[in-house]
Amino acid sequence: MLQVPFIRENKYLVIKSLEKRNFDASKIIDEVITLDEERKQIQTTLDNTLAESNAISKEIGILFKSGEAEKANVLKTKTSALKETSKELNEKLNSTLETLQDLLYKIPNVPHPSVPAGNSEEDNEEVYKEGDVPTLHSKALPHWELAKKYDIIDFELGNKITGAGFPVYKGKGARLQRALITYFLDKNTEAGYTEYQLPHLVNEASGFGTGQLPDKEGQMYHVTEDNLYLIPTAEVPGTNIFRDVLLNEADLPIGITGYTPCFRREAGSYGAHVRGLNRLHQFDKVEILRVEHPERSYVALDEMVEHIKSILKELKLPYRILRLCGGDLGFTSALTYDFELFSTAQDRWLEISSVSNFETFQANRLKLRFKNSEGKNELAHTLNGSSLALPRVLAGILENYQTEEGIVIPDVLVPYTGFKIIN
């Protein structure tokens, strides 16, 4: 959430920057500034009213002590009126603050200057590419056919138990899935991230804290009786560890990692591009999160990118990195890099990770601050990245490592799987 002082001081910059997102902010920014002026006026009037009421109350005490009860009772009538006025002003102030907060929740984060303008994923900017696309044999299959052939993932059984988008992993498929999770966590902890096991449901405050609410409410599974939400990513419970926390500057940076299943309602379109593991309602993901000093958060973002590159290099998967354009940028992000691996059997790129810097946008919602060297409280920067999302990594391994004899396991995973081939 953007800070009101920042909006006031940088009104035209905010409006111009949000144009990169194809978001016309001029009207809502004017409403925010107007409401903030009203808030200030109400607050000033309320403070003056309370001060007058307190002064009169003291005077009433003096009058009673000096035996001037009649004068004191006249003033008591006045304080009663002032108290009623204070109550009305306080209610008006709370209503104005609530309306202002609702408006601020609707304004997306200001894109970083390096974010290219654009309308959709077609306008994203490729900034890096690595790895050779393998040449497959003539009978190569997409992963959903491989899963059936080798009986390692059962999509129909998942559909029977729950519905579309809930696959069942079996045998070596389940073992490979577990191997990837452990491998990703090991790589992250070796890089200095502290591992956490996190809740899979969060409360409403956590959803608002990281920006899933109210922006993505329709994409989250909602347990209405308890007003809890199934997590769309470990980013939500992980980042909310720091909600309402005041850190010391010496505590920074903080890095955590965690594995969770993720739940998203938005799956449901049809066609080959969402078949198999390409898009699911439930999937596994290992996440990395950072809480950083504002002066080094973009250095940290580059470090996260390099970390994920090292994992894909070990897996020997062909991949590219995209800098997302304004039209494809997430609501809370200032800058996002997407990692995509090439699926040779499908002849298309599959997104496997997003790495983002939210700057102070989440921290402002979370009230996540640190005490700087001058002893003042300052908002921290938050970052997160998938390291990595499993379904499409698994799909990429199945498709790119297939041979006529079976699916070869990447060398780096063999110590985790205990086998070298699926056949």
Report the binding-site residues for L-serine: 233, 264, 287, 384
Query: Residue 16: which residues within 8 A CB-CB, separation 6 or more?
Result: none
Sheet-wide strand order for 246-248:
246-248, 369-371, 377-379
Residue found under tokens 């609501």:
331
Annotated binding site for ATP: 264-266, 351-354
Tell me how far CA of residue 64 lies from CA of 54, 121, 342, in angstroms.
Answer: 16, 75, 86
Residue found under tokens 């990770």:
353
Q: b vs e for 326-363, b when ≥16 Cβ sit within 10 Å of the residue's Cβ? A: bbbbbbbbbbbbbbbbbbbbbeebbebbbbbbbbbbbb
Q: How far is CA 149 from the centre of its chain?
A: 37
Annotated binding site: 233, 264-266, 287, 351-354, 384
Q: Is-contact 285 233, C-beta < 8 A?
A: yes
Q: Please state the φ and ψ torsions of residue 237, each to the nearest 5 degrees.
A: -65, -35
Return the SS3 of 379: strand
Return the SS3 of 209: helix
Taking the C-alpha atoms of residue 398 and residue 172, their distance in angstroms, rounded to an integer, is 12
207: tokens are: 């959803």
Q: Is-contact 318 342, C-beta < 8 A?
A: yes
Beta bridge partners of 350: 341
Taking the C-alpha atoms of residue 317 and residue 414, their distance in angstroms, rounded to an integer, is 16
CA angle 88, 90, 92 (to 5 degrees): 70
Q: How far is CA 234 from the centre of its chain?
A: 9
Taking the C-alpha atoms of residue 332 and residue 75, their distance in angstroms, rounded to an integer, is 53
Taking the C-alpha atoms of residue 259 and residue 182, their distance in angstroms, rounded to an integer, is 9
Taking the C-alpha atoms of residue 322 and residue 354, their distance in angstroms, rounded to an integer, is 9
Can you say whether the dihedral through the CA atoms of 160, 164, 166, 172 is positive or negative? positive
Nearest to 19 by CA among 324, 323, 327: 327
Residue 167: asked if its preceding bond is cis (omega within 30°), the reply is no
